[in-house]
Structure 1
Amino acid sequence: MHRLLPLSEVSSTNRFSNVRLVATDMDGTLTKKGKFTSELLQSLQDLATAGIEVVIVTGRSAGWVSGLAYYLPIVGAIAENGGLFFFGESEKPVALTPIPDLVAHRQQLASAFQQLQTQFPHIQESADNRFRVTDWTFDVKGLTTDEIKTLSHLCEQMGWGFTYSNVQCHIKPLGQDKAIGLLQVLREYFPQYTPEQVVTVGDSPNDESLFDERYFSLSVGVANVLEYANKLQHQPAYVTSAAEGEGFCQLVQVIREAIAAGGHSVPSRKA
């Protein structure tokens, strides 16, 4: 299947009629200029009403994500690019990346960041870094593509993973990424769904594993993903015409119309 097809072409294939769970990035995918809109909140509620589960899969910190998982009409949220999972209204996260000694882990991450600063003294720790458990972040703003490549290589040399989004750069445990975390969550919490019933959504390089068709055949990028298209080894199957949260709302409308046209009944969400 060709990737990066306009979402408008989905009407002829009706591929979204079997969707039962939406796994979506947050910043740049659900937000518009960094904020949730009333249209976005209505779209999330529309999915909930239709019995379609939503799991947010974000690079944001555990501290931020715990509140989102509790208050939004979603079934859960994965934080720190696959590091932790907040299920439903539970305030206690489930570790997807085991960390035996949290204090030592944070110290090692801080040391790795300090090493990066010796070559890139202008990089700044992200404001939400104090609320993190598994990874360490610094702001991506002001960094060139070549600098990001160098930072990634330096992290690899130190035995760390690295990724970045439109907001932050992440120093993270090797093997920790969104797809691996999401697959674990699907196995343990949503075994009733096959991969074909899941659509993944994103907009930037740290969403790339969600676009990997070996894991998820049905993926969507909101229009701003095109800014990174030539940097992504794995590209989404479809792209919306609108950017950011407006693009996500377009996808929700396609899902609802496809399900209605297919005559499928979706079980109501459990109370």
Structure 2
Amino acid sequence: MKPISDFATSLKFLLTDIDDTLTDEGLLGAEAYEAMWALYHAGIKVIPVTGRPAGWCEMIARVWPVSGIVGENGGFYFRYHGKKMHRHFFFDEQTQATNRAKLNQLETEILKKVPGCELASDQFCRLMDLAIDFCEDVPALPKSEVQKIVDIFVAHGAQAKVSSIHVNGWFGDYNKLSMSLKFLQHEFGVSAEDAKKVCGFSGDSPNDEPMFQYFPHSFAVANIQHFVDQIKAKPTYVASQRGGMGFTEIASVILKNK
């Protein structure tokens, strides 16, 4: 990983994780929010790509200075454009309902077999996945217990990704990257290959690995160091600061190279 100061390319889009990339201890600070506005005013389209739920994404797409959002680890994207909310889901409603029934069974099993974890507080406004909290609103679990959660998902044929706060599990062959590329193509006419040239991505944890691997212009905030041993495809550049201040540092460098 190179220092962020080595970056010297003009970008048109910045895709970014939210938790512990834009935020610090769950809060969106003024610096990171102002950095998003600075990118917006410079004509650089910001697109959050997150494990957070549909309910959050509805608000973010409408209220933040963003050009859309990919949510629940790639289950959908929302874009508020022309005074209308445009929503694209990987699955139709019937398939979503079938998957939800299976996830409800997994919820019961995981909470029983892994003491100390809890259902994520934002689960009530999720449509596509099951989020298990291992350190957001509960005392942090050791990595071995987090791995048990992952193993239970996988044993039932679900995908499972570890963020900085949750294990997210879902049924379906999609992830942050696949839906991000679909979003860019459908909404902006940017092909998957061109996306490598005009897009950057910033993140902080293992569930960002597909994005780090795909985008040559990939960035991480300094707290990526907590997960370096869990990530094979590492980001190209790393900021010197954590969380929202690290994102602010990344945005500053991108703006300088516009």
Q: TM-score, normalised by structure 1?
A: 0.87
Equivalent residue, structure 2, for 1:252: 251
- Selected match of 2:62 from 44, 50, 70: 70
* Aligned residue pairs, count: 249
Equivalent residue, structure 2, for 1:264: none
Change (3 A) 1:74 1:122: same
Contact 1:7 1:238 in 2 (8 A): yes
- Distance (Å, rounded) in 2 between the aligned partners of 1:152 and 1:220: 26
Contact 2:163 2:207 in 1 (8 A): yes
Equivalent residue, structure 2, for 1:236: 235
Identity of aligned residues (%): 28
| Greater fraction of residues in strand | 2
Equivalent residue, structure 2, for 1:205: 206
One-letter code of the match for 1:133? L
Gaps of 5+ in 2: none
Deviates more, 1:24-33 or 1:91-100: 91-100
- Selected match of 1:176 from 174, 177, 185: 174
Does residue 128 of structure 2 align to residue 131 of structure 1? no
Q: Deviations over 1:96-120 (max 9, x none)?
A: 3445343332221010121223321
- Selected match of 1:34 from 11, 15, 26: 26
- Distance (Å, rounded) in 1 between the aligned partners of 2:90 and 2:224: 27
Deviates more, 1:171-180 or 1:84-93: 84-93
One-letter code of the match for 1:56? P
Contact 1:99 1:134 in 2 (8 A): no
- Per the TM alignment, residue 148 of structure 1 is displaced from its structure 2 partner at its CA by 2.1
Q: TM-score, normalised by structure 2?
A: 0.91
Contact 2:149 2:167 in 1 (8 A): no
Gaps of 5+ in 1: 260-271
Q: What's the Cα RMSD here?
A: 1.6
- Point out 4+ residue stretches in structure 1 off by more than 4 angstroms: none
Deviates more, 1:31-40 or 1:64-73: 31-40
Equivalent residue, structure 1, for 2:13: 21
Does residue 144 of structure 2 align to residue 146 of structure 1? yes
Contact 2:130 2:169 in 1 (8 A): yes
